[in-house]
Amino acid sequence: MTKIIIDTDPGIDDAMAIFYAAAAEDIELLGLTAIFGNVTVDTATRNALRLVEAVGLDIPVARGAEKPLEMPHIKPSAHVHGDEGFGDIPAATPKGNAIKETAAEFLVRMAREHKGELVLCPIGPLTNIALAIQADPEFASNVDRIVLMGGSYKEGGNITPYAEANVYHDPHAAEVVFASGAKVEMVGLDVTHQILCTKEDFAAMAEAAPKLGGMLQDMSHFYLKFYETVGKFDGCSLHDPAAVIACTHPHLFTSEEVGITVVTQGEEIGETRAAADARSETSVLMGVESEVVKSLFMQRISGLS
């Protein structure tokens, strides 16, 4: 079992990733940490609590940072995920509460308690992870690795022509993570744009698993509509599930070792690019057996009751 904490800004594909992790018998999900991005941090925390309750998990949820390290806060991505984060599904109040520790405090403690074993899977802006790195000089070496959804090497951006959304929301935090010396795997647009789910795929998951597959299908309508406006994809990208799957199925991906730096100012802000003077090497995922990843995702969501 791989011990994983997901740092998340739920978010429609975040919900898919969390349901996948809950369904996966090879994953021990130790908790969720919430971050602004697709929605505000308060909505992200509430949505994370909603997801763990819906899927029947009893795990801690920690509230994270409400703004980037240095940049002004960018408005949430309501046109992609809806005002409340789950497309057309209305807001609802969960029964549970976030724990008292902040996301960064929780991450630092868990990395110590599970030294060398914890796989961190950030699927939102990287502020919480950067704060944990800054709070504890041992954090980067305490985690086994950081498998993050974010960035783009050769694919171009999705929020600007240069930048992928998670990195763009806090480029300084992303730079802290890439330069931390932790083992970092970048699951960026180079691979996530190759893994697409269609309306028919969501219908099949809803039929097999009416409650939770059905919930994802309800969310997917909004997300698929956004992807139609982008125009170049036959379906919507499984960005965040791809990162969770990469944690346990690295053989389904190919990668290149690249020194990555993040552009932190100017027109190209948020771009993740190769630089000879980068402080550490990142495994940049470039190839994927996309049909196998999609089938695994669909099979495990379909098994949820």
Catalytic residue numbers, as ranges: 239
Query: Please, what is the minimum distance in Å from the beta carbon of residue 13 to Ca ion?
Result: 6
Helix (H) or strand (E) holding 117: none
Helix (H, G, I), strand (E, B) or coil at 269: coil
Q: Token match 């807001």: residue?
A: 91
Tell whether residue 107 is a contact of ligand BDR (CB under 6 A): no
Tell whether residue 123 is a contact of Ca ion (CB under 5 A): yes
Per CB under 5 A, the list member of 14, 84, 164, 175 interacting with Ca ion is 14
Chain centroid to Cα 97, Å, comes to: 21
Q: How far apart are CA 86 and CA 92, in angstroms?
A: 11
Omega into 156 within 30° of 0, i.e. cis?
A: no
Burial 90-100 (b: 16+ CB within 10 A, else e): eeeebeeebee
Answer yes or no: are the C-beta atoms of 255 and 283 closer than 8 Å: yes
Residue with the shortest CB distance to ligand BDR:
165
Tell whether residue 80 is a contact of ligand BDR (CB under 6 A): yes
Per CB under 6 A, the list member of 2, 33, 47, 77 interacting with ligand BDR is 77
Tell whether residue 149 is a contact of ligand BDR (CB under 6 A): yes
| Phi, psi for 66 (deg, rounded to 5) | -100, -5
Per CB under 6 A, the list member of 33, 40, 127, 158 interacting with ligand BDR is 158
| Phi, psi for 30 (deg, rounded to 5) | -90, -15
Q: Which tokens is 265 given?
A: 């100012």
Tell whether residue 64 is a contact of Ca ion (CB under 5 A): no
CA torsion angle 176 179 182 188 (round to 10): 80
Tell whether residue 11 is a contact of ligand BDR (CB under 6 A): yes
Residue 246's nearest CA partner among 101, 102, 121 is 121
Query: Please, what is the minimum distance in Å from the beta carbon of residue 119 to ligand BDR?
Result: 17
Q: How far apart are CA 199 and CA 140, in angstroms?
A: 40
Residues 174-233 that bind ligand BDR (CB under 6 A): none
Tell whether residue 124 is a contact of Ca ion (CB under 5 A): yes
Per CB under 6 A, the list member of 15, 16, 27, 38 interacting with ligand BDR is 38
Query: Please, what is the minimum distance in Å from the beta carbon of residue 276 to ligand BDR?
Result: 27
Tell whether residue 14 is a contact of ligand BDR (CB under 6 A): yes
Query: Please, what is the minimum distance in Å from the beta carbon of residue 305 to Ca ion?
Result: 25
Nearer CB in complex with ligand BDR: 207/228: 228
Tell whether residue 235 is a contact of ligand BDR (CB under 6 A): no
Q: List residues binding ligand BDR (CB under 6 A).
A: 11, 13-14, 38, 77, 80, 123-124, 149, 158, 164-166, 239-240
Q: List residues binding Ca ion (CB under 5 A).
A: 9, 11, 14, 123-124, 240
